[in-house]
Chains A and B, each alone.
Chain A
Amino acid sequence: MPKMVTLTIDNQQVSVPEGALVVDAARKIGIDIPVFCYHPKMEPVGMCRMCLVEIGRPIIDRATGQPVLDETGQPKIQFMPKLETGCTNSVSEGMVVLTRSEKALDGQRGTVEFLLTSHPLDCPICDKGGECPLQNLTMAHAADQSRFILDEKMKMDKHVPLGELIWLDRERCIQCARCIRFQDEIVGEPVIGFYNRGRATDIVTYSDPGFDSIFSGNTTDICPVGALTTSDFRFGARPWEMNQSASVCTQCPVGCNLTFNVRREAKAGGRYVVKRVMPRQNEQVNETWICDKGRFAAHHYTETPERLSTAPDTATLKQVADKLAAAKSDTVVLASGRLSNEDLFNLKKLADGLGGKALLYTHMGGGDAVAAYGLSAGSNLGELGKGDTILVVASDLHDEAPIWWLRLKAAAKRGATLIVANARAIALDHYATYVVRYAYGDEAQTVRGLPTKPKIGDALNGASNLVVFFGADGLGLDGSQALAGACAELVKDRTGKPNNGLVGVWPRVNDQGAWELGFRPSPDLAAELKGKTVYIAAADPAGDDPALADALKEAAFVIAQDILPTATTAAALVALPVLAYTEREGSYVSGERRVQRFYPAVPPRPGLKADYALTAEIARLAGIDLEGRSPLLVMNHLASETNAFADISYAKLAEVTEQWPIVSRGDLYYGGTSYENKQGLGAHLAVSDAKVAGAKVDALRPKEDELLAVPVSTVYDLGTTMTPSKLLSQRIGGPRVALHPAAAEKLGIHNGHPVTVRLNGWEARATAVFDESISTGVVLVYRSFGIPISAPTPVTIAVAEKA
């Protein structure tokens, strides 16, 4: 426990840990010292001079070391001659702070006036209007008449694109450097900076593309004025016109808490539309941040006009139910982790009721190991630090789970030992204490050898807390399952201890939930489908893999349930449209095994049902009784029947405890627009008794003069949930493969040139890029760009003929 220090702020006493800053101490007792440059998650810089306060300290008698007392027996306080910044002064015992004295207010007024001399005061057309700290402080402090002559204001560019995602209004910028410091300190991607100096200081980017960072959108939240805005929201709506609804991002397994801002619009035919996606504070999950993929792609796919929308009539549902009832144990339910727990639970119950199989559609295994040895209650990556060890194997977290990347980087900064093991160089290497490089195929073997390595072994064995992240970089189902097994060995003995365990870097938001509910992938999916009645939900096997498309042709009957039309819904005899997650309620399990609720943001499409309800209806018609009235009721069933969920209820998931820093949208202290979390922080699953499947893999090795293709992921791809986001399309690029320059030279391939890729009997065009960190025998093939690859496989690459 740190030493506590007691001080007095505006006649209120407060005790805070030694070293705390005056602004933070004040906020603890509800006193807002106004700030612009200060941000509770960044180093204080004392630039804006907004938080000027009077600070006094007890006079200490040099001889006795005791405070000098006045005639009333109170310590005599000596105030500093000048005003001090509350953001750079640490508290000390007996300190007296005056935040609202005439002198302090005069200083604060002065700063506001100085800022306004250069500020355009174009609040009526400013996106920040209504949630702007400068506007609030102007209303609170500024004189009603300006002493500055309007004609003497600096005229500057108001529409400067910093890349295609973020815009800068140079007139509005107050040079607080929050955005620059965020990119530097928190993200480590210093791609925006100040140019010029003095009054001419402005923000520039020299990266290509401009503002090249997948966290760029956060700068618009923490910008205390309307200088930085996002392309998708600028001039789109006023903050007070919009409703807020709590949600969870569906783009990766982190499960960032979101707020959707929604309003009805004439130009949308009077429908409700999501106007912007904002982070919702959850200090245990995403703090106050979200990545650009979440911000700019979270909802667009739910709004495309291509949505499947014709509600099935009763006859169709009856036909489906009859087919399933007839198929009995010849039923295969194939679902993906894009679905909620409630959906998956009902699908599983249906499969179980029929005696059929419930298969998880994924290229990554090991969720059973995470269920058994994953994180449990009380875990928070934000607490990892000195003495703790984090191992990341076979995952490019920056691209696959950006917020975990941020949080692990921060843990390393706090002193945690970060071990990064990967077959290629990745962004996290830069922050790693130890980097382990292995050959693709050696993942599990490498992990098994780590505990006996001299320094790394000590870090693993002697860690106060140990968290192991594993992914599927270069791996398919078998490889990742085997890797999970090897990783599990490292944390097995720590099961149930907070901040210890295994984390899967899943391709989808609720893969872990699916595993926890008993869904398992099949090692030979094509064989499973032949001759069966297949009920597919939220998966597109036909679109992903020609072999699976062929297998579906040989199925007895195919039902495809989805929100978007896919090759699979096209191939299915019955396609069932359902509601998107923005239109309904439910819950997901994150890779950290945290269950979190999402809520409807927009009204449901007429006639459509949520997956769990549609499945329940089909089940009922097939003679199986399933709950489908509300997700809460489904969760109640789920919890009573699933050990790991035993303590979970919708009420518990909606609980909120006080978080630090205190973020509330009206405050001056935080000055950002991340949403306060009023809808629930979620809860961890209990340790499960899941049985862990073993997996033995013979590492596929490239033979002499043969290349081996391995699948890897990148942040922006051509996946179905990404492509409808027009905004990010410029950053996605086309299909690409990476190979070692030496391997490329042999084939006469140049960096950036088109190549033909042949694998699994399939041929595709792609762009070749060089990666010096991989071996000459492998080719990285990026997933979700239309090249069918689910596991390592031999490949031939050749210079592409002119198209």
Chain B
Amino acid sequence: MTAPTVRFTDERLANGLRLIVAEDHLAPVVAVCIWYAVGSKNEVPGKTGFAHLFEHVMFQGSRHVAKTEHMGLVQAAGGTLNGTTWLDRTNYFETMPSHQLELALWLEADRMATLLDALNQENLDNQRDVVKNEKRSSYDNRPYGEWSNKLQAHLFPPEHPYHHPTIGSMEDLDAASLEDVAAFFRTYYAPNNAVLAIAGDVDPAQARAWVERYFGGIAANPKIPPLGDMTVPAILGAESREIVEDQVPLPRHYFGFRAPRFGDPRLEALEVACQILAGGKGSRLYRRLVREERIAQDVAFFALGFVGGASIAAGEATVRPGVDPDVVERAFEEELERLGREPVTADELARARALIETYELEALQRVDERADRLAMFATLLDDPDLINRQLDRYLSVTPAEIQAVAAEVFRPDNRVVLTYMPASGPAARSADEETAA
């Protein structure tokens, strides 16, 4: 089985907008995906959560699009859409029936060119409330909800741009002003800070003409401030531990490690290791902790790739009732460290490769995933063709490479252990609770 090659064109408009077009006509659908090279890492102290709040403002209209009309027009055209914010980037995407491509391009261009015309205090206040409710839903009111924010804070020092969570803090969200929004937009939402990828049922010449028409006249920002040096030592230096009391019935450990940066082949070896460790019922952690020793209710292990400083390798295990949490922690860590001591078996590696191949093929079936990956590889690594080499890179990972990266990463002095324990009494009111905004 071979993966179909994704053929694409890659060019820049005069204003710096990078345009990638991948044509295929299997289904009458087309995906538009625009990545801006700005994320929570670009936020400054006192303004955390801003990149994400801004993403919400991007759906509040622009000069020729009324509030909520962006959603309405896309849905009335039979399309789907959303936007997401992460440490390294913010992205916006629409998947459309192919005859509606021009609408999606126009909508993206209108907000890149004229967002501030529609910005007002009412919309900002409204989306601030929505985002605060998103924070309550996704973190504050959810058992174990703070784990990822806590891991980030342990793995990166306070002055590092990856230290704070993308969702931000309630205080900082409250402090965001219209001037902040305008300045953020003028600084980062410029064509030379964006990659536009179009994939699917598209005539490339026509798409290029539309992109030139709608985006060509938008001015570049020649003064996008560079980020400071994000380098951190490859290893944390000392183990970091925290016990969290929460409204949870079962204890759970979260593990975090600094890992090689996104794009480093060692991170790909680590991702294969993640498959062998926790990818389904045949994996090592599941087999030992859940099935054989029956000390864990569930296990997981995965990598979150970042381009600045270090990535995060993270895992979790929920402790079964009546089991000593320390026993679960030791078994979990033993399995991680064993990967660094002895090579994986040929059969384990063959199974992991076969599964990874299927996952990749499955993902690349969809136009939205193709557009997203082209934009991702272009934005983060300046190498959109990785979409065609990624699978081979996974498949060529050797037992020695897995062992080497496991030995580098899974060290006690590179480890964060976060242990959630059932709170002894009714939980104290969350520090973030406040009166109605």
A, B bound = no
Residues on A facing B (Cβ under 8 Å) = none
Residues on B facing A (Cβ under 8 Å) = none
